[in-house]
Amino acid sequence: MRAYERLMTYVKIHTASDDSSETVPSTQRQFDLARYLEKELKELGVQEVYVDENCYVYGRIPAAEGYETVPCIGFIAHLDTIPDFSGENVQPRLIEKYDGGDIVLGESGRTLSPENFPHLTRLVGDDLIVTDGTTVLGADDKAGVAEVVTMAERLLTEDIPHGPVAICFTPDEEIGHGAALLDLKRLGAVMAYTADGGEAGEIEYENFNAASASVRFRGFNVHPGSAKDTMINASLVAMEFNSMLPAGDTPRDTEEYEGFFHLMEMKGDVEKASLKYIIRDHDAATFEARKLCLLHIEKLLNARYGEGTVAVSMKEQYRNMREIIDQHYEVVQKAMDAMQKCGIEPKAVPIRGGTDGAQLSFRGLPCPNLPTGGFAFHGPYEHASVQQMDQCTDVLCEIVKEFCLQPQQLRDSDHTV
């Protein structure tokens, strides 16, 4: 079975996570896909298949004869889709041999157009999977799941040299919790890859340093007719706070390695208000400067309106995995070599976000991110290329072969979990 055929099935299983939930997984519906995969993996012959109480799906493919001493390599993808756009009742549609024009997405009134998505010109002639315009597709990351399962099927049915291969499908990646409870001992890999990227050929091993910030504003409400030099309008102070941030440091105005402050939510009235931000930067020093910027504005506004008017609280979310990957660069080089052998020109690109691999790298498992052939994630325009999904699956299989070439080098390395 080809990866896209699996994707067409997986996306119909509703698995959106919930960032307001305090349970793990954040939604029980993620178990629906986990149990489906558990059955599928067992039928394919994957060993040690196990779904734990937190909705992590594990499996293991034993080494082919003669490759038992090759280190175990892991492949990881996530089950959930984003919580803030519908992933329920997904209706995938296959468009054969895309002609380069506009694609009308069902009766939603939305159109997938090269004008808004210029990369579509590179997909002319490919078969595309699209939505009906009312939901996400779920290629993020069910395309990755489908490719890992298809890789497993090929390793078990084709004559492909391979050492032991570990598989894990995680819940709640979209809300930043996917790597938190992954059992590294059960996984048993010395290096791993997340299959959670975009265009074929891209490999990602550096991501944003990330934090969230909540800013609370306390006002002083009196009758507006007698408010001179007395009233403190919490909503206006919140607006003033935001205006003091660098105007061009927003997601709309930045790209590649440029960081930003992103205002996610604002609420307020005269007596109280709140702002929620995410803070992102690839450079660690600039990232720290961004956090200090918020605290400096807090200090200035409290001096102006009174202590306690503004209160900033921040929480670190994840760090740039490059500082770990650079110490184990062969995990990147193996992937690049595999891509070239598959006829794909590799391209290292920075992640303007984060992946499970960032957290896993800091937990001791070097884990760059691989492409899946999906595009325009997190919205109704999401789509995937059938041919690129095939290419990404080929790359996974080739990576496994690459690790069979020089097993002694890795056995003698200091990669331990």
Sign of the alpha-carbon dihedral angle for 302, 303, 304, 306: positive
Q: Cα torsion at 126, 127, 129, 132 (round to 10°)?
A: 100
**What would the two tokens of residue 254 be?**
């930045």
CA-closest candidate to residue 63, choices 188, 165, 186, 185: 165
Transcribe 46-109 into DSSP letters.
-EEEEE-TTS-EEEEEPPPTT-TTSPPEEEEEE--B-TTS--SS---EEESS--SS-EEETTTT
End-to-end CA distance of the chain: 34
140 in catalytic set? no
The single residue listed with the structure tokens 């380069």 is 100
The single residue listed with the structure tokens 């998505």 is 117
**Three-point CA angle 153, 122, 115, nearest 5°:** 125
The single residue listed with the structure tokens 């997904």 is 90
Catalytic residue among 38, 153, 173, 281: 173
CB 298 within 8 Å of CB 362:
no
3-state secondary structure of 29: coil
Cis before 25 (ω within 30): yes
**What would the two tokens of residue 75 be?**
């492949």
* Cα 231 from Cα 171, distance rounded (Å): 47
173 in catalytic set? yes
3-state secondary structure of 195: strand
Catalytic residue among 38, 80, 132, 382: 80
Residues designated catalytic: 80, 173
